[in-house]
Amino acid sequence: MNLTHKIIGVSVGTLLIGTTLFSVRKRSRDGRTSKLLSAIKAQIQPISNGLMSQSAFDIHFLNKVLQAVNREVLVLKTSTASRYADQIHKAWGSWYQGGDDEEKVYGIFREMKDKVQVSQVAKAYQETYSKNLIDTLKDRFDKDEITIVLNIIKALPNYRTA
């Protein structure tokens, strides 16, 4: 009976030590992962903030322009804005389907003539897919791809008049 107690004691001790070592190792790995994710977020954050600061992605930008401008502002037809939103949505692909078609998305933004049109497309995207276009771009694109989109939009005028 004494030998049985020793065997049980050694087994329990071994399990306790093994569990503790596993737990410490896991916490250490989680800490390193957290630091890595924080560093990645710090690198991406300025670009993501650039998306947020772009008034062109504000779905109410057209209304703000219309209130501020006393002339007729050129706008997209609702069907055209919806078509652009659909084209952007269809450009997203799964990794096993070849991934996203970034060039198609850039091309759609290049077709737009001003930031009001970008706003209209963002609004159509939100209404159709119940997701903010900014959030979708942040989810799908990396820092360099977001920079390309921002540069395309920065070159556009805020609005055009008739």
Task: Choose the most confident range, by mean pLDDT, from 23-27, 56-60, 96-100, 102-106.
Answer: 102-106
**Do 23 and 73 fall within a single domain?**
no
Residues 118 and 73 in one domain: yes
Identify whether 10 is part of a domain: yes
Say what the pTM is.
0.67
Query: Does residue 42 share a domain with residue 84?
Result: no
Same domain, 80 and 149: yes
Contact 100, 137 (CB under 8 A): no
Counting the structural domains of the chain, the total is 2
Domain that holds residue 42: 1-47
In a domain, 99, yes or no: yes
- Average pLDDT of the residues of the chain: 83
Which contiguous run of DSSP H or E holds residue 71? none
In this structure, the dihedral spanned by the alpha carbons of residues 41, 44, 49 and 50, taken in order and rounded to 10 degrees, is 180
Contact of 90 with 30, CB cutoff 8 Å? no
Residue listed under structure tokens 């920065």: 154
pLDDT higher than 90, residue 11: no
What sign does the dihedral 138-143-149-150 (CA atoms) show? positive
Q: Which residue has the higher pLDDT, 101 or 86?
A: 86
